[in-house]
Amino acid sequence: MSNLSEFVHHHFDKPADELGDVEKRVLAKAHQRKVISTDVNAAFSAEASLGERIADSIARIGGSWSFIIAFFVFLTAWTVINTIILVSGAFDPYPFVFLNLILSMLAAIQAPIIMMSQNRQAERDRFEAAKDYEVNLKAELEVLSLHQKIDMRVLTELTALREDVARLSAELAAKG
The predicted pLDDT at position 1 comes to 45
Mean pLDDT to the nearest integer, 99-109:
95
List, for residues 149-160, the tens digit of each pLDDT value.
Answer: 999 999 999 999
Mutual angle of helices 97-175 and 21-31, in 10-degree steps = 50
pLDDT single digits (tens) 4-59? 666 666 666 777 777 788 887 887 777 787 778 778 888 888 888 999 999 899 88
The pTM for the full model equals 0.65
d(CA 90, CA 9): 79
Considering only CA atoms, which of 15, 18, 36 is closest in space to residue 141? 36
Which tens digit of pLDDT belongs to each residue from 50-81? 999 998 998 899 889 999 999 999 999 999 99
In Å, how far from its chain's centre is CA 58?
22
pLDDT grade for 88, boundaries at 50, 70 and 90: confident
State yes or no: pLDDT of 2 exceeds 60. no
3-class secondary structure, 32: coil
pLDDT at residue number 164: 95
Average pLDDT on 89-107 reads 93
